[in-house]
Amino acid sequence: MGVTMKDIKELRSRTGAGVLDCKKALNKVDGDIEAAVEHLREKGMAAAAKKAGRIAAEGLVSLNITDDRKKGVLVEVNSETDFVAKNDNFKALVSDISEHLMQTDAEEVEAVEKENWFKDESETVNDVIKAAIANIGENINLRRFKKIETDGYLFGYIHLGGKIGVLVEFASEFGSEKEKTAKDIAMHIAAINPDFLDRDSVDSESIAKEKKIYREQMLNEGKPEHILDQIIEGKINKYYTQVCLLEQPFVRDDEQTVAEILAENDMEIKQFTRFEIGEGIEKKEEDFAAEVAAMTKNQ
């Protein structure tokens, strides 16, 4: 099977490389997008791979936290269009689903969908969603949720009216004087999108992959073998500052890291969750075919 325009579009979205470079990279690795991302990075054509699935579907991310901040849930419910996402009936459905999730012990979407609806046990969650589909006229999908119960303190943030949601678990309670810092941290997570909390959270597979890419980059640039390990170590340290929340420059003061801001305020983060609407979901193809055809003609 040959390389498709959809493949080229996804690779370009993830790497920022040119259409022709994306096409060549995909042909070289038999259409494997992950391998093509690595190939482009090794050749220095992509500074860093964006997360898969930047092409977004529509819907809402909703946040629900108890008054004592000991229990919370972040949920994503998808619709086909942004128009429906702004519909009051859809918003009410998402709010109700969020409340249902606060009352269930289920951990997986499939299990939740089979449960009796918290408002009416004669129907299931799936029945309620199907009824909403019939009423609203678009496909609706309970995609994912994250629920946290803590002895510490929960803080959340919703950005752009439900396009991005963040739920942060702090290790201990704090008063109103630290609420602004907690909100700033949640907004930082929404804006910068860290992958991990700290270095200890980064899996060995990710590190091995980065080291391989850096080594190929250096070899392609003609760097001598005996200094590669030192260069790679420096690049890995920089990688940590890009993907680890605690090591990132704080979005409101890039002279300090997030860890330093937390230490100044005697605060500690145990975990965080960030949902961006439609991550990893393909939208309907736009008029990308004509663009690719024009740029790849006679190639």
Residue 162 has pLDDT above 70, yes or no: yes
Domain 1-55+282-299 has CATH 1.10.8.10: yes
CA separation, residue 298 to residues 4, 20, 27, 275, 292 (Å)? 16, 11, 16, 42, 12
Q: What is this structure's pTM?
A: 0.75
Structure tokens at 145: 């949720």
What pLDDT was estimated at residue 55?
34
For the chain, the domains span 1-55+282-299, 58-197+266-276
Q: Which residues pair with 124 in a beta bridge?
A: 116
Q: Considering only 25-34, 152-161, 187-196, 257-266, which range has the smallest mean pLDDT?
A: 25-34
Domain 58-197+266-276 has CATH 3.30.479.20: yes
Average pLDDT over residues 64-81: 96
What pLDDT was estimated at residue 53?
34
Q: pLDDT for 79-129, tens place per residue? A: 988 998 999 999 999 999 999 999 999 999 999 999 999 999 999 999 999
Q: For residue 54, name the pLDDT band (cuts at 50, 70, 90).
A: very low
What pLDDT was estimated at residue 297?
56
Q: Rounded to whole angstroms, how far apart are CA atoms 49 and 167?
A: 25
Q: Which tops the pLDDT comparison, 155 or 288?
A: 155
Q: pLDDT for 40-52, tens place per residue? A: 888 777 655 554 4
Q: For residue 7, name the pLDDT band (cuts at 50, 70, 90).
A: confident
What pLDDT was estimated at residue 44?
76
Structure tokens at 299: 């190639």
Q: Of 62, 41, 60, 63, which is closest to residue 50 (Cα–Cα)?
A: 41
Q: Rounded to whole angstroms, how far apart are CA atoms 25 and 40?
A: 7
Q: How is residue 50 annotated by DSSP? A: P
Q: For residue 154, name the pLDDT band (cuts at 50, 70, 90).
A: very high
Q: For residue 15, name the pLDDT band (cuts at 50, 70, 90).
A: confident
Q: pLDDT for 165-185, tens place per residue? A: 999 999 999 999 999 999 999
Structure tokens at 135: 């009423």
Average pLDDT over residues 132-148: 92
Q: For residue 138, name the pLDDT band (cuts at 50, 70, 90).
A: confident
